[in-house]
Protein backbone atom coordinates (compact mmCIF):
# COMPACT_ATOMS: atom_id res chain seq x y z
CA UNK A 1 0.00 0.00 0.00
CA UNK A 2 1.37 3.37 -1.00
CA UNK A 3 1.58 5.98 1.76
CA UNK A 4 2.12 9.65 1.06
CA UNK A 5 5.51 10.92 2.35
CA UNK A 6 3.77 13.81 4.11
CA UNK A 7 1.30 11.59 6.00
CA UNK A 8 0.89 12.49 9.65
CA UNK A 9 0.55 10.01 12.50
CA UNK A 10 -3.21 9.73 12.01
CA UNK A 11 -2.79 8.96 8.31
CA UNK A 12 -0.14 6.34 9.06
CA UNK A 13 -2.37 4.59 11.60
CA UNK A 14 -5.28 4.57 9.14
CA UNK A 15 -3.00 3.02 6.53
CA UNK A 16 -1.87 0.32 8.97
CA UNK A 17 -5.45 -0.48 9.95
CA UNK A 18 -6.49 -0.58 6.30
CA UNK A 19 -3.72 -3.11 5.55
CA UNK A 20 -5.04 -5.39 8.30
CA UNK A 21 -8.52 -5.10 6.75
CA UNK A 22 -7.19 -6.14 3.33
CA UNK A 23 -7.80 -2.77 1.69
CA UNK A 24 -5.64 -1.58 -1.20
CA UNK A 25 -5.79 2.07 -0.15
CA UNK A 26 -6.46 3.75 3.21
CA UNK A 27 -10.23 4.12 3.53
CA UNK A 28 -11.87 4.89 6.89
CA UNK A 29 -15.39 3.98 5.81
CA UNK A 30 -14.47 0.61 4.32
CA UNK A 31 -12.21 -0.15 7.27
CA UNK A 32 -15.05 0.35 9.75
CA UNK A 33 -17.36 -1.69 7.54
CA UNK A 34 -14.88 -4.59 7.32
CA UNK A 35 -14.45 -4.64 11.08
CA UNK A 36 -18.21 -4.70 11.71
CA UNK A 37 -18.74 -7.42 9.11
CA UNK A 38 -16.30 -9.53 11.12
CA UNK A 39 -18.87 -9.69 13.92
CA UNK A 40 -20.27 -7.40 16.61
CA UNK A 41 -18.63 -9.33 19.48
CA UNK A 42 -14.97 -8.46 19.86
CA UNK A 43 -14.21 -11.92 21.26
CA UNK A 44 -15.37 -13.58 18.01
CA UNK A 45 -13.98 -11.01 15.56
CA UNK A 46 -10.66 -12.09 13.99
CA UNK A 47 -9.96 -8.69 12.44
CA UNK A 48 -10.54 -7.00 15.78
CA UNK A 49 -8.00 -9.34 17.39
CA UNK A 50 -5.47 -8.36 14.70
CA UNK A 51 -6.12 -4.66 15.34
CA UNK A 52 -5.50 -5.10 19.06
CA UNK A 53 -2.35 -7.16 18.40
CA UNK A 54 -0.67 -5.20 15.61
CA UNK A 55 -1.92 -1.60 15.94
CA UNK A 56 -4.26 -0.56 18.77
CA UNK A 57 -7.97 -0.41 19.47
CA UNK A 58 -7.57 3.26 20.44
CA UNK A 59 -6.35 4.04 16.91
CA UNK A 60 -9.45 2.36 15.47
CA UNK A 61 -11.82 4.29 17.72
CA UNK A 62 -10.11 7.54 16.73
CA UNK A 63 -10.91 6.72 13.10
CA UNK A 64 -14.50 5.84 14.03
CA UNK A 65 -15.05 9.07 15.96
CA UNK A 66 -13.68 11.20 13.13
CA UNK A 67 -15.70 9.39 10.45
CA UNK A 68 -19.04 8.89 12.24
CA UNK A 69 -19.10 11.31 15.23
CA UNK A 70 -19.62 8.39 17.64
CA UNK A 71 -18.90 9.27 21.26
CA UNK A 72 -15.67 7.49 22.21
CA UNK A 73 -16.80 6.87 25.80
CA UNK A 74 -16.98 3.11 26.49
CA UNK A 75 -17.12 2.10 22.81
CA UNK A 76 -17.81 -1.40 21.50
CA UNK A 77 -18.49 -2.86 18.06
CA UNK A 78 -22.07 -3.70 18.98
CA UNK A 79 -22.68 -0.20 20.34
CA UNK A 80 -21.13 1.30 17.21
CA UNK A 81 -23.37 -0.58 14.79
CA UNK A 82 -26.51 -0.12 16.90
CA UNK A 83 -26.01 3.64 17.13
CA UNK A 84 -25.15 3.99 13.45
CA UNK A 85 -28.29 2.05 12.52
CA UNK A 86 -30.62 3.90 14.90
CA UNK A 87 -29.22 7.23 13.71
CA UNK A 88 -29.84 6.23 10.10
CA UNK A 89 -33.38 5.24 11.06
CA UNK A 90 -34.03 8.48 12.94
CA UNK A 91 -32.81 10.59 10.03
CA UNK A 92 -35.14 8.84 7.57
CA UNK A 93 -38.32 9.17 9.63
CA UNK A 94 -40.94 11.82 8.92
CA UNK A 95 -41.70 12.27 12.59
CA UNK A 96 -40.24 11.67 16.03
CA UNK A 97 -38.24 8.54 16.69
CA UNK A 98 -39.76 6.18 19.33
CA UNK A 99 -38.67 7.27 22.77
CA UNK A 100 -37.01 3.95 23.63
CA UNK A 101 -34.58 4.43 20.73
CA UNK A 102 -33.89 8.16 21.06
CA UNK A 103 -30.88 7.77 23.39
CA UNK A 104 -29.05 5.74 20.71
CA UNK A 105 -28.96 8.54 18.14
CA UNK A 106 -25.57 10.01 17.25
CA UNK A 107 -25.51 13.79 16.91
CA UNK A 108 -24.92 15.34 14.51
CA UNK A 109 -26.58 12.67 12.36
CA UNK A 110 -25.18 13.38 8.89
CA UNK A 111 -22.00 11.28 8.93
CA UNK A 112 -23.63 8.27 10.56
CA UNK A 113 -26.54 8.40 8.12
CA UNK A 114 -24.21 8.67 5.12
CA UNK A 115 -22.11 5.75 6.37
CA UNK A 116 -25.08 3.37 6.57
CA UNK A 117 -26.65 4.70 3.38
CA UNK A 118 -23.48 4.03 1.39
CA UNK A 119 -23.19 0.56 2.92
CA UNK A 120 -26.74 -0.42 1.93
CA UNK A 121 -26.04 0.63 -1.67
CA UNK A 122 -22.88 -1.49 -1.99
CA UNK A 123 -23.82 -4.70 -3.83
CA UNK A 124 -20.92 -6.64 -2.36
CA UNK A 125 -21.38 -5.67 1.28
CA UNK A 126 -25.14 -5.06 1.54
CA UNK A 127 -25.95 -8.76 2.28
CA UNK A 128 -23.71 -8.61 5.35
CA UNK A 129 -25.37 -5.36 6.39
CA UNK A 130 -28.79 -7.03 6.15
CA UNK A 131 -27.64 -9.82 8.45
CA UNK A 132 -26.32 -7.38 11.06
CA UNK A 133 -29.45 -5.23 10.79
CA UNK A 134 -31.68 -8.22 11.51
CA UNK A 135 -29.50 -9.17 14.47
CA UNK A 136 -29.92 -5.71 15.96
CA UNK A 137 -33.67 -5.67 15.23
CA UNK A 138 -34.03 -8.85 17.31
CA UNK A 139 -31.69 -7.57 20.00
CA UNK A 140 -33.61 -4.30 20.48
CA UNK A 141 -37.13 -5.68 19.81
CA UNK A 142 -37.51 -3.10 17.06
CA UNK A 143 -40.88 -4.47 15.96
CA UNK A 144 -42.44 -3.47 19.28
CA UNK A 145 -41.10 0.08 18.88
CA UNK A 146 -42.36 0.48 15.30
CA UNK A 147 -45.90 -0.86 15.56
CA UNK A 148 -47.24 2.51 16.70
CA UNK A 149 -45.82 4.39 13.70
CA UNK A 150 -47.99 5.33 10.71
CA UNK A 151 -47.14 5.04 6.97
CA UNK A 152 -46.62 8.79 6.63
CA UNK A 153 -43.80 8.50 9.20
CA UNK A 154 -42.21 5.30 7.87
CA UNK A 155 -42.43 5.59 4.09
CA UNK A 156 -38.76 6.50 3.50
CA UNK A 157 -37.26 4.37 6.28
CA UNK A 158 -35.42 1.12 5.52
CA UNK A 159 -32.91 0.64 8.34
CA UNK A 160 -34.64 -2.60 9.39
CA UNK A 161 -36.55 -5.22 7.42
CA UNK A 162 -39.42 -5.02 9.90
CA UNK A 163 -40.06 -1.46 8.69
CA UNK A 164 -41.42 -2.92 5.45
CA UNK A 165 -43.56 -5.39 7.36
CA UNK A 166 -45.02 -2.72 9.66
CA UNK A 167 -45.52 -0.32 6.75
CA UNK A 168 -47.36 -2.92 4.66
CA UNK A 169 -49.59 -4.04 7.54
CA UNK A 170 -50.51 -0.44 8.39
CA UNK A 171 -51.29 0.35 4.76
CA UNK A 172 -53.49 -2.72 4.34
CA UNK A 173 -55.48 -1.81 7.46
CA UNK A 174 -56.07 1.71 6.16
CA UNK A 175 -56.99 0.51 2.67
CA UNK A 176 -59.55 -1.91 4.10
CA UNK A 177 -61.42 1.03 5.63
CA UNK A 178 -60.94 3.47 2.74
CA UNK A 179 -62.14 1.10 0.05
CA UNK A 180 -65.73 1.61 1.24
CA UNK A 181 -65.54 5.41 1.36
CA UNK A 182 -67.01 7.39 -1.60
CA UNK A 183 -63.85 9.49 -2.07
CA UNK A 184 -60.34 9.25 -0.66
CA UNK A 185 -57.27 11.50 -1.03
CA UNK A 186 -54.87 9.17 -2.85
CA UNK A 187 -51.93 11.48 -3.62
CA UNK A 188 -49.99 10.57 -0.44
CA UNK A 189 -50.30 6.87 -1.28
CA UNK A 190 -48.51 7.34 -4.58
CA UNK A 191 -45.71 9.23 -2.80
CA UNK A 192 -45.36 6.57 -0.10
CA UNK A 193 -45.30 3.58 -2.45
CA UNK A 194 -42.98 5.21 -4.97
CA UNK A 195 -40.48 5.90 -2.19
CA UNK A 196 -40.38 2.22 -1.24
CA UNK A 197 -39.32 1.16 -4.76
CA UNK A 198 -35.74 2.43 -4.32
CA UNK A 199 -35.08 1.00 -0.85
CA UNK A 200 -32.99 -2.03 0.04
CA UNK A 201 -35.72 -4.46 1.13
CA UNK A 202 -38.07 -3.70 -1.80
CA UNK A 203 -37.13 -6.75 -3.96
CA UNK A 204 -38.22 -9.15 -1.19
CA UNK A 205 -41.64 -7.48 -0.90
CA UNK A 206 -42.06 -6.39 -4.51
CA UNK A 207 -45.17 -8.53 -5.16
CA UNK A 208 -46.88 -7.08 -2.11
CA UNK A 209 -46.09 -3.52 -3.18
CA UNK A 210 -47.41 -4.31 -6.66
CA UNK A 211 -50.66 -5.45 -5.06
CA UNK A 212 -50.85 -2.22 -3.09
CA UNK A 213 -50.25 -0.22 -6.28
CA UNK A 214 -53.15 -2.15 -7.82
CA UNK A 215 -55.36 -1.38 -4.83
CA UNK A 216 -54.67 2.33 -5.23
CA UNK A 217 -55.39 2.11 -8.95
CA UNK A 218 -58.65 0.37 -8.12
CA UNK A 219 -59.65 3.17 -5.75
CA UNK A 220 -58.72 5.77 -8.37
CA UNK A 221 -60.81 3.89 -10.93
CA UNK A 222 -63.75 3.72 -8.53
CA UNK A 223 -63.59 7.45 -7.82
CA UNK A 224 -63.24 8.33 -11.48
CA UNK A 225 -66.47 6.48 -12.25
CA UNK A 226 -68.30 7.11 -8.98
CA UNK A 227 -71.60 7.63 -10.81
CA UNK A 228 -71.25 4.31 -12.63
CA UNK A 229 -71.13 3.63 -16.37
CA UNK A 230 -74.24 5.41 -17.58
CA UNK A 231 -73.04 5.94 -21.11
CA UNK A 232 -74.38 4.93 -24.53
CA UNK A 233 -73.26 1.45 -25.51
CA UNK A 234 -70.91 2.59 -28.33
CA UNK A 235 -69.09 5.05 -26.03
CA UNK A 236 -68.82 2.47 -23.27
CA UNK A 237 -67.41 -0.15 -25.65
CA UNK A 238 -64.84 2.34 -26.98
CA UNK A 239 -63.77 3.28 -23.46
CA UNK A 240 -63.44 -0.39 -22.50
CA UNK A 241 -61.36 -1.20 -25.57
CA UNK A 242 -58.99 1.73 -25.09
CA UNK A 243 -58.67 2.03 -21.30
CA UNK A 244 -61.11 0.22 -19.03
CA UNK A 245 -60.05 -3.31 -20.00
CA UNK A 246 -56.42 -2.65 -19.02
CA UNK A 247 -57.41 -0.99 -15.75
CA UNK A 248 -59.85 -3.70 -14.73
CA UNK A 249 -57.25 -6.39 -15.50
CA UNK A 250 -54.58 -4.56 -13.48
CA UNK A 251 -56.95 -4.25 -10.53
CA UNK A 252 -58.19 -7.86 -10.66
CA UNK A 253 -59.64 -8.27 -7.14
CA UNK A 254 -58.84 -12.00 -6.98
CA UNK A 255 -55.14 -11.45 -7.73
CA UNK A 256 -55.11 -8.49 -5.36
CA UNK A 257 -56.46 -10.64 -2.54
CA UNK A 258 -53.94 -13.42 -3.17
CA UNK A 259 -51.05 -10.96 -2.80
CA UNK A 260 -52.35 -9.09 0.23
CA UNK A 261 -54.02 -11.85 2.23
CA UNK A 262 -51.02 -12.57 4.45
CA UNK A 263 -50.97 -8.95 5.60
CA UNK A 264 -54.68 -8.69 6.39
CA UNK A 265 -55.13 -8.86 10.14
pLDDT for position 228: 59
Question: What's the pLDDT score for residue 254?
Answer: 44
The per-residue pLDDT for 262 is 46
Distance between CA 125 and CA 136 in Å, rounded?
Answer: 17
Chain segment 22-51, per-residue pLDDT in tens: 999 999 999 999 999 999 999 999 999 999
Pick from 52-56, 69-73, 155-159: least confident: 69-73
Q: Give the model confidence (pLDDT) of 204-232 as tens digits.
A: 999 999 988 888 887 877 777 665 556 56
At residue 239, the pLDDT reads 59
Please tell me the pTM assigned to this model: 0.85
What does the pLDDT read at residue 196?
A: 96
Is the pLDDT assigned to residue 263 strictly greater than 50?
no
The confidence band for 187, taking pLDDT boundaries of 50, 70 and 90, is confident
pLDDT above 70 covers what percent of the chain? Answer: 80
pLDDT of residue 185: 81
Q: What is the mean pLDDT of residues 55-64?
A: 96
Residue 169 to residue 219: CA distance in whole angstroms: 18
> In this predicted structure, what is the pLDDT of residue 220?
79
**Confidence category of residue 249, pLDDT binned at 50, 70, 90:** low
pLDDT above 60: residue 265: no
Confidence of residue 264 (pLDDT cuts 50, 70, 90): very low
Q: Which residue has the higher pLDDT, 238 or 1?
A: 238
Q: What is the pLDDT of residue 252?
A: 52
* CB neighbours of residue 100 within 10 Å: 12
pLDDT over 80 (residue 194): yes
Amino acid sequence: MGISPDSDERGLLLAMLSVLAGLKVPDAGRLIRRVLLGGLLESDNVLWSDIERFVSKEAFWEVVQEHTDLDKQNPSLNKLFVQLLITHFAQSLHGAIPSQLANQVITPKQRAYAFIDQWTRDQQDSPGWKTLSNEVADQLHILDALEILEPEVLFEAASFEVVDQVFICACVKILRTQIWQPTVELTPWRTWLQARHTLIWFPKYEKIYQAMDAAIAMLEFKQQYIAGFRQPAPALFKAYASFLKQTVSYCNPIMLWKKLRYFVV
